[in-house]
Structure 1
Amino acid sequence: MDWFVGVLSLLCCFVLYYRHLQSKKTCKEEPTEWPLLGHLFGMIADLRRPDYHDWATVVLAGTRYNFPAHAGLTGVRYFVTCDPSNVRHIFTSNFLNYPKGEEFGQIFDVLGNGIFNADGESWQRQRAKSQLLMAGPRFRVFSARCGRDKIGLPVVPFARAMDDVLATVILRHIIPPACWRLMYRYELGPEKKMAVARRTIDQFAADMIAKRKSEHNLCGESVSESSDMLSSFISNGDASDEFLRDTAVNLLLAGRDTTGTALSWFFYLLCKNPRVEQRILDELAPIAATKMLATANDMVVFDVGELSNIVYLHAALCECLRLYPPVPFLHKAAAAGDVLPSGHEMKAGDKILIYSYSMGRMEGVWGMDCMELRPERWLADDRKLRYEPSYKFMAFNAGPRTCLGKEVAFTQMKVVAAAVLWNFAVEAVPGHVVEPKLSIILHMKNGFAVALKRRNFPSVHG
């Protein structure tokens, strides 16, 4: 009987201590902090939530935009923030003290020493080279058949491998480094997919580099004549195979899914906001009428130059990127001790997650209507585009590491969005569940099932 009393007493103590921990929370959704293991249980359990990004947003809103998370004795520790003042400090004011960090390079080792992982002089050299190449008149990021799987088409191994990498990298942020490295070495658990994916990606990159080298040897193109960035690096003749591999994989990650993902969310939002869709159609109508009058084809494709002054479409795309940034969070590390504008102290080696998804949904940052799709917030009184600082709108990173492909991405999105919207009515399939996938890239978990219906505008030819 004594043992029963003892167990009951321990259980009562456990319940009382749990209630004490719960009472210390500033936000009821905040994961419980346990002795020795910190937030580990909550960090692992919450990864299974279908609304993980929205849950993180609620936690950050309830903790005044900042949340120190740690997994106790495992050594996993992050400072999570969506505070614009902290972002400005980390990405601009004290930029040199907050590199990507060695551990990020290990977590995302599939990128090698490419520009995403690089810091210091290596990053500066690669960025300067990329800026020079992107300024060229024939710039293309990378030409390769590596798109996502399409209905009725065969599976693309590279695309599947990259999806597996992005999903596994999320887990590496939670699992202690020693554990996931051991699993990767022996190909256990989720790391088995990572190991297989790494081999697929390496082989794809090697094949593409060999193809580009062969084309270069046959054609003898100079840097100015090269049609894409990878070919331009090859034509220089001073790049190692390892550097070319890392560059290729980085370029593929940057250009493969980010723009496509943004457009998927854009059409999803328009399905829920017909007012915005109609405003875009009204804006496109004069250009479309002119094009239809000049040709006998009722299918309209817009040129880049024709869309340069289309501001409402641009504003609507900005709104989509605010609510659904292709990269929902960014990773930094403190090189030396520092105190953030929020008052939180950072020690050397501390890891920081900047949650851009949550920042776009904070009332204190974007106003009471922050959850609404309102392109008008991006328009000034003179109907021109309003500037928003990058530390507040982080869809293209911020500070010195602002995305070099920002203008290219906007150009691509506007051309595609304008052509699809003018020629087709995009309607979401009733009952189809749309929610973000837990990944480094903000994919739709179940894709976006739609029905396309050809629009019937009055013919301008009579």
Structure 2
Amino acid sequence: MVSLGYYEILILLGVIWFLFLSFWGTVDGLPRNWPLFGMLPGLLLHARWIHDRSTDVLGRAGGTFLIKGPWFADMDMLGTVDPANVHYIMSANFSNFPKGPKFMKIFDLLGDGIFNSDGDLWRNQRRFARLQIGHQRFHRCLVKTSQDKVEKGLIPILEHVSKQGLVVDLQDLFQRFTFDTTCFLVTGYDPCCLSPQLPDVPFSKAMDEAEEAIFHRHIVPESIWKLQRWLGIGQEKKLSKACETLDSIIGKYITMKRDELSRGIQLEEQEEGVDLLTSYLKEDEMMEGLKCDDKFLRDTILNFMIAGRDTTSSALTWFIWLVSTHPIVEAKIREELKEAIPTREANKWRLFSVEEVGKLVYLHSALCESLRLYPSVPFQHKEPLQPDILPSGHRVHPKMKVFFSLYAMGRMKFIWGEDCFEFKPERWISERGTIKHEPSYKFLAFNAGPRTCLGKEVAFTQMKTVVAAIIHNYHVEVVKGHHVAPNVSIILYMKHGLMVRVTKRWF
């Protein structure tokens, strides 16, 4: 007779519990509400497939579903993809649905930055950020930085791997590209991580680990992750170390910039534009209600870095994968690119200017369609200040989170039609051949209402510059057998990267 040790028994019990939940953990496909623990066991069971599970549950529930948490924790969440609810929360009754103190606790990494703050602090930051991002000097910096990084950073690596027949992780390249460009746009310094040596970048790695830890805070009771933080274990230990790295590097950038400005060293504004950190330091007298100290600058830089690096690189990764696996779409984009340039240059290697790709309808539509299916930020949540009733008839109260699944929203038949799972750029083109406007409470990739993303045009400018260069000049083929699936984090990256082979189209 075989005797089982302590660990073998624990493993066996774990397997039995897993099987039990798998077979009896649902009612008509919806999570079972267990005594004492609520729906938390099912949530943890499906955590690795949270995006697809959310799609299934919200689809079965008609667009809105109440997730009951354990009785001992304030974890009740109302999940919704109903556009009427989204519009009500994000616009019509915006004042009753701030980010709230719970959001601040979960995302304490972001400090008092624009994505974390509410009230006057948020309004003052947004006003000043809008002024700076919309200024021509920043636009000049954006255009030059993006085009230079494509030509001198991305292209040399693609040329090398295509010539050598190497496999490359495009997701990694895109992360490096957006990290370099965002870092320069925000701070004025280029970390040069997009180089043939593909150097290790502590700042970028720390951002990844911090985001994974923040996601972990969404699926476990607050008391658990706070205990982990106090003990210095698990995801909280990773988050603490990541914060130290981020604070150290950002602190160096701020010190360097203050030193440069104090010694009269400035960028050639007329030609190359100006980074945001320089603008903030030089115009701090215009920042009503804001104190431009190192803490404020640290929070601002980190907020912009996460927004610029993560969202754009995620969008680029999913877009190139979709296009490379949909040859008809790829052919239409190439044809549109050819029509945008002189005939003599159509069948030659070339890069595209921002002006050449800025008004391309099909390319823009394909990017929107990709973001519909794979939004860079796959979920977000709010919490009401006062009890309220949503248009769907569901009641919410201050101890309840309202959860939006942007990933699921793009896969709802009642919103996008029976073909909602298809990659179909044509759904974004009107009968007149122009880009069809979809309301932000239906297409939430750039948020909605007063918190609509300030960097929307920045993101489209960068993405179009990159994808035009790749699609016109190269053929991208995903490595056979490579498994493509979304990761589990606050940013929708590919779990295993995007492993491809790249071949040149022109010689």
Change beyond 3 A, Cα 1:224–1:455? closer
For 2:87 and 2:332, the matched residues in 1 are separated by: 34
Aligned to 1:192: 237
Change beyond 3 A, Cα 1:224–1:281? closer
Letter in 2 for 1:197: A
For 2:326 and 2:470, the matched residues in 1 are separated by: 16
Q: How does 1:12-411 map to 2 (within 5 A)?
A: 25=27, 27-28=28-29, 30-47=30-47, 49=48, 51-72=49-70, 73-139=72-138, 140=142, 141-142=185-186, 143-145=188-190, 152-219=197-264, 221=266, 227-237=274-284, 238-290=291-343, 292=345, 298-411=348-461
Question: Greater shift after overlay, 146-155 or 278-287?
Answer: 146-155
The answer to whether the 8 A contact 1:57-1:358 is kept is yes
For 1:445 and 1:190, the matched residues in 2 are separated by: 18
Aligned to 1:429: 479
Question: Greater shift after overlay, 87-96 or 153-162?
Answer: 153-162
Change beyond 3 A, Cα 1:128–1:108? same
The answer to whether the 8 A contact 2:89-2:97 is kept is yes
For 2:341 and 2:333, the matched residues in 1 are separated by: 12
Could you tell me which of 434, 438, 462 is aligned with 2:488?
438
For 1:240 and 1:23, the matched residues in 2 are separated by: 51
Percent of aligned pairs sharing the same letter:
43
* SS of aligned partner of 2:136: coil
* SS of aligned partner of 1:427: strand
For 1:137 and 1:112, the matched residues in 2 are separated by: 29
- Larger helix proportion of the pair: 2
The answer to whether the 8 A contact 1:165-1:197 is kept is yes
Change beyond 3 A, Cα 1:24–1:31? closer
For 1:381 and 1:455, the matched residues in 2 are separated by: 33
**What stretches of structure 1 of length at least 5 have no aligned partner?**
1-14, 458-462
Letter in 2 for 1:274: P
Change beyond 3 A, Cα 1:272–1:222? closer
Aligned to 2:3: none
Question: Greater shift after overlay, 194-203 or 345-354?
Answer: 345-354
* SS of aligned partner of 1:123: helix
* SS of aligned partner of 1:138: helix
How far does residue 337 in structure 1 lie from its aligned partner after superposition?
Answer: 0.8
For 1:335 and 1:448, the matched residues in 2 are separated by: 42
How far does residue 80 in structure 1 lie from its aligned partner after superposition?
Answer: 1.1
How far does residue 331 in structure 1 lie from its aligned partner after superposition?
Answer: 1.6
CA RMSD of aligned residues (A): 2.4
TM-score (norm 2): 0.81
The answer to whether the 8 A contact 2:315-2:375 is kept is yes
Question: Greater shift after overlay, 145-154 or 275-284?
Answer: 145-154
TM-score (norm 1): 0.89
For 1:444 and 1:265, the matched residues in 2 are separated by: 8
The answer to whether the 8 A contact 1:311-1:385 is kept is yes
For 1:394 and 1:266, the matched residues in 2 are separated by: 17
Report Cα offsets for 1:339-388 as digits up to 9, x if no partner.
00111001123211111110001010000110111111101111001000
The answer to whether the 8 A contact 2:348-2:506 is kept is no
Question: Greater shift after overlay, 307-316 or 215-224?
Answer: 215-224
**What stretches of structure 2 of length at least 5 have no aligned partner?**
1-16, 143-184, 285-290
Change beyond 3 A, Cα 1:149–1:445? farther
* SS of aligned partner of 2:31: coil
For 1:149 and 1:184, the matched residues in 2 are separated by: 34
Report Cα offsets for 1:23-75 as digits up to 9, x if no partner.
983x41x222111110111122211x3x3211110011011111211322222
How far does residue 284 in structure 1 lie from its aligned partner after superposition?
Answer: 0.8
How far does residue 212 in structure 1 lie from its aligned partner after superposition?
Answer: 1.6
The answer to whether the 8 A contact 2:75-2:400 is kept is no
For 2:441 and 2:296, the matched residues in 1 are separated by: 31
For 2:66 and 2:192, the matched residues in 1 are separated by: 38
The answer to whether the 8 A contact 2:69-2:77 is kept is no
Change beyond 3 A, Cα 1:150–1:328? farther
Letter in 1 for 2:67: A
Aligned to 1:11: none
Question: Greater shift after overlay, 38-47 or 283-292?
Answer: 283-292
For 1:249 and 1:144, the matched residues in 2 are separated by: 14
For 1:40 and 1:301, the matched residues in 2 are separated by: 51
Letter in 2 for 1:331: H
Question: Greater shift after overlay, 77-86 or 104-113?
Answer: 77-86
Change beyond 3 A, Cα 1:257–1:147? farther
The answer to whether the 8 A contact 2:25-2:31 is kept is no
Letter in 2 for 1:247: T
The answer to whether the 8 A contact 1:97-1:334 is kept is yes
For 2:443 and 2:344, the matched residues in 1 are separated by: 35
For 1:367 and 1:124, the matched residues in 2 are separated by: 37
How far does residue 223 in structure 1 lie from its aligned partner after superposition?
Answer: 13
* SS of aligned partner of 1:115: coil
* SS of aligned partner of 1:452: strand
Letter in 1 for 2:413: E
The answer to whether the 8 A contact 1:149-1:156 is kept is no
How far does residue 190 in structure 1 lie from its aligned partner after superposition?
Answer: 1.6
Question: Greater shift after overlay, 129-138 or 146-155?
Answer: 146-155
Question: Greater shift after overlay, 368-377 or 303-312?
Answer: 303-312
Question: Greater shift after overlay, 214-223 or 182-191?
Answer: 214-223
For 2:294 and 2:35, the matched residues in 1 are separated by: 48
For 2:490 and 2:26, the matched residues in 1 are separated by: 31
How far does residue 301 in structure 1 lie from its aligned partner after superposition?
Answer: 0.8
Change beyond 3 A, Cα 1:150–1:42? farther
The answer to whether the 8 A contact 1:168-1:191 is kept is yes
Change beyond 3 A, Cα 1:45–1:395? same
How far does residue 290 in structure 1 lie from its aligned partner after superposition?
Answer: 4.4
How many residues align structurally?
A: 433
The answer to whether the 8 A contact 2:383-2:399 is kept is yes
* SS of aligned partner of 2:415: helix
* SS of aligned partner of 1:114: coil
Question: Greater shift after overlay, 261-270 or 146-155?
Answer: 146-155
Letter in 1 for 2:137: R
For 1:147 and 1:175, the matched residues in 2 are separated by: 37
For 2:371 and 2:354, the matched residues in 1 are separated by: 20
